[in-house]
Structure 1
């Protein structure tokens, strides 16, 4: 990402930091030496890197929760990291939580990666001075939905969601408030009568 976008990100949003042990897992999946030390641009005062940026938490919701719980609470499932060059997103890496620790996964699909780049540019173009906003990803695998989740730690009712891919259920790269976003998800889960939470990706 260019320096302007990095500068705005530092001011506006909070990202997470990853220990070297987690970065080493990404190193291995990138076919680099496990002993290589990868630095990450944590965007809140850490060391800069040309490679890995925007580390943020991933969350998931299942269909049963959408159908049966009035105010479903997404579950933390891991961490997502973006590999960037000077002008674009290259790859996406997930560190998925398991009983044995995190497992790395790499996304190389150009359309999917480009969709994330566009979504990030969308959120960076908004005007805000609220520095309590945490960037997250919310996934509903059975509905093939990924969205950036702008979580306001001081006022969660003001959370916003920006769909990255949504199979036509939302307008991608548009902002939705919490109420409208979950209303559409709940209605879709009920109307489609899909029961298999393992569907999707």
Structure 2
């Protein structure tokens, strides 16, 4: 009997309804996503810590505490603002421009649906807009790009951790050469002195 004459058994027919994409594709995405979210959370934690220390240094009475709260984007804007306005505080470049993009990526990945072709294994991140039925299908995020972004966040987090440790140990004035930083130091020293010894109210008569 030749191969062509071999009997056909229906129960041996392939089940074309059963997905056969490599499950490692989904597992790899899950690992990269988990690493990315953990790294973003670490940046979030250290950024809040840096802001909390900075506002306590500037206003121990809590007048600036609101700068250390809010969502990630708000706190990042506050960090960038303080880095410009009070350069004598050693923020160390933690207001990294890349954090805007990386936080946007985090929002996409955290709320996006992993839509995988069960046969080919290819996938897209599907993002449903909250106030409409419009759906974005994003093909520019994959395991490799997410892993690279996670590594970038981990590097930023390590830098922020070091800044947090030393931000409340300012450089003595005699070692500061930048004139803007010196002016900022002098201004906030004057603000602190005025806070500690407020001038008499306008209605009060000066002591004789």
Q: TM-score, normalised by structure 2?
A: 0.22
Per residue, is there more helix in 1 or in 2?
A: 2
Radius of gyration: which is bigger? Answer: 2
Per residue, is there more strand in 1 or in 2?
A: 1
Q: TM-score, normalised by structure 1?
A: 0.23
